[in-house]
Chains A and B, each alone.
Chain A
């Protein structure tokens, strides 16, 4: 039987090894000559394009997040490496890297996208939001991007003002209602884009705060004589700081507000889009979402009632059976002259079915694991009893 894996590991590994050897060789030469520096994140992209062709279907998609992180990591290494070449030391390289990030965050705050890979790291919450919501957006993402209000005055405000005026023109004539609906849709789209932009601007500020705290953290490490000795340690420290600053921000009132506005404005836009779709479906004599919702609601209500009726019926039947049993027992008692006894059967949701599959009798053996922990008294494990 042929190997079902089309991916030939040995050839592939050898090919990728050669590829990276060549890149690293070039990078080393560049450092020595002071010539053009290596673009490692681009190298990773090119390598990935070639490598992905040999991978089984489905694997490539799974690896994408890892590659995305690899790009960010490589980008950080690249900047660090570039700046620490020649006469400049590692400290200077970090300072430059921090300055570049501050600048990138400043641009991000104005709505433009600087420093693609580094910003990709910081854009993760927003980027994931766009991906998560893309499946239920009424319009493609690029279209939404085009509606983004111009960010900076003086032109931004003027453009915004003109758009607002245009969207406020009263509808007239036969298509009045339709015109107003389109105006509402455009307004809601702009509100959503504004909310997205506010979120992005807030995150950019958090990014700048992170840079400052990172710098302070490094200086503190310097005072304590705890040097950072690897790129990965530097990256991990950076992630820790980012989480710390982000975590504080997300507990602020400002975050709750920008988050709420982003969700609410998207929902308002989506609802307006659904109205349009419903009208289109109705005009084609097709079921609308509104109608399907009505059907689902009524169906669920009927099912709920059905369960209640079944439950009431079962109770009635049981009561009746119980009375029958009592009457029978009474009759037997009268016939025999003795006193009747009533066994207690398990009550089971109104049913008296005998146990099935029950574990039954007494317990003679107990798992050793079952005696382990509730009496532990070490610092990390506490049990506390009110009884």
Chain B
């Protein structure tokens, strides 16, 4: 027996209520101004091509750890996710925890950047940013905090240049790209990446958006917008929704050659796990990651499954390896209220304990 207890007049009432909310909420939408993202004051300290290195302004009352931390974000989305709004900012949490925070904004590659390789990103841009931060602080080594794909870059960098990294923090970072629950890896199994890049040059952000949305299409392209009608009445909630919506669809195109190598070597051949990965002239050997490592993953991550991150523990050379499991998803780890209370303070304390 199908247990439906909905009367026809009730259906009409629901539709009427929905419509009323939509109508009233549209006034709020019409009044909505441009939603600011990236709220913590910062200054650009280094620029190269489309890349900008920022340093965030620390709060006056907090004395900082002398070893700065450089956030390395992914190429596939914009880094303001780490500083989305006043009360949802990983950056602010790190500053409050006494860290001196730098962040790389990779910018929006265009067709002239098509031949940028992973070597250019990791041993070029990232290395020069690390050198710039070291120079500014007069230190030999700095802390790296890599997020998602940026975490994978940070791992490669730390394996190649261990002499420049004091402590490594990875957040929602894929290491084993072929765990059975890794949907993205499964999808690209039969994709001819060479033809894709040879044809498109850069890989359009729209294509990546499609890929991410189709991980959960009925929730992300459907149910979410019905839920939005419920928050239209509340200006603050609406602003939060719009901010997130802006970030989700703000996807830079991907430099073709870097994308080619990332998909082939990491997703299709899983070389970070199995070995044989080369970034430029350097072989990446995770046993060379000898500095302390804090590996943070999200338990409900549908993009980077926990096992994909946990695999790091068996691969790194360091004896000082710590895991932190966050009860949430891939995005919640930056923006949820729970994350604000848990993740940045934990990072601050972990770094503090390892700063001599």
Residues on A close to B: CB < 8 A?
5, 7, 9, 12-13, 16-17, 20, 24, 27-28, 31, 40, 44, 47, 51, 55-56, 59, 62-63, 65-66, 68-70, 72-74, 77, 80-81, 84-85, 90-91, 93-95, 121, 124-125, 128-129, 131-133, 135-136, 215, 218-219, 221-223, 225-232, 234-236, 239, 242-243, 246-247, 250-251, 255-257, 259-261, 263-264, 267-268, 270-271, 274, 289, 292-293, 296-297, 299-301, 304, 307, 345-351, 353-367, 369-374, 376, 380-387
Residue B264 lies at the interface, judged by CB distance under 8 Å to chain A: no
Contact among B3, B24, B324, B344 with A383 in the assembled complex (CB-CB below 8 Å):
B324
Within 8 A of A (CB), among B92-140: 93, 96-98, 100, 111-112, 114-116, 119-120, 124, 127-128, 130-132, 134-140
B228 touches A66 (CB 8 A): yes
**B1:A369 contact, CB within 8 angstroms:** no
Given the complex of chains A and B, what is the CA–CA distance between A111 and B185 in angstroms? 29
B97 touches A349 (CB 8 A): no
**Which 7 A-B residue pairings sit nearest by Cβ, starting from the closest?**
A260-B190, A349-B131, A355-B138, A348-B135, A370-B348, A380-B327, A346-B138
Structural contact, B210 and A363, CB atoms closer than 8 A: no
| Cross-chain contact B4 with A370 (CB below 8 angstroms) | no
A interface, by DSSP: helix, strand, loop or mixed? Answer: helix
Task: Determine the chain A residues whose CB is within 8 A of the CB of B213 once the complex forms.
Answer: 128
Q: Is the CB of A231 within 8 A of B14?
A: yes
Binary interface profile of B, 1-29, with partner A (CB < 8 Å = 1, else 0)?
A: 11111111111101110111011101101
Chain B residues, CB < 8 A from A356: 135-136
Shortest Cβ gap from A211 to chain B (Å): 13
Task: Give B128-170 as 1s and 0s: 1 = Cβ < 8 Å from A's Cβ atoms.
Answer: 1011101111111000000000000000000000000000000
Interface size on B, residues (CB 8 A): 118
A13–B214 CB distance below 8 A? no
Contact A297:B190 (CB < 8 A) given known A84-B11, A228-B4, A267-B200: no
In the complex formed, the residue of B with least CB distance to A95 is B2
B264, chain A: closest CB distance, angstroms: 14
Interface residue B201 (Cβ < 8 Å from any Cβ of A): yes
Contacts A228-B6, A264-B191, A267-B195 hold; do A66 and B98 have CB atoms under 8 A apart?
Answer: no
| A373 CA / B97 CA spacing, docked (Å) | 12
Distance of A373 Cα from B140 Cα, bound (Å): 29
Find the B residue at minimum CB distance from A273: B199
Q: Give chain B residues whose Cβ lies under 8 Å from the Cβ of A219.
A: 1-2
| CB < 8 Å neighbour of A243 from B131, B189, B219, B319 | B219
Provide the bound-state CA to CA distance between A367 and B342, in Å: 13
A63 lies within 8 A of B29 (CB): yes
Q: Once the chains bind, are A250 and B183 in contact (CB under 8 Å)? A: yes
Contact with A along B184-224 (1 / 0, CB 8 A): 00111111100110111100101101100110111101110
Is the beta-carbon distance between B29 and A59 smaller than 8 angstroms? yes
Contact A227–B4 (Cβ < 8 Å)? yes
Kindly specify which of B55-63, B71-79, B283-291 makes contact with the partner chain: B55-63
Interface pair B138/A128, CB less than 8 Å apart: no
Given the complex, which residues of A lie within 8 Å of B318, measured CB to CB?
386
Interface membership of B54, Cβ < 8 A = no
- A-B contact list, 8 entries, CB within 8 Å: A47-B19, A51-B23, A234-B6, A236-B223, A239-B218, A359-B64, A367-B345, A385-B321
Are A264 and B192 also in contact (CB < 8 A) when A51-B26, A135-B206, A243-B218 are?
yes
Task: List the B side residues contacting A304 at CB < 8 Å.
Answer: 119-120, 124
Is A372 within 8 A of B5, CB to CB?
A: no
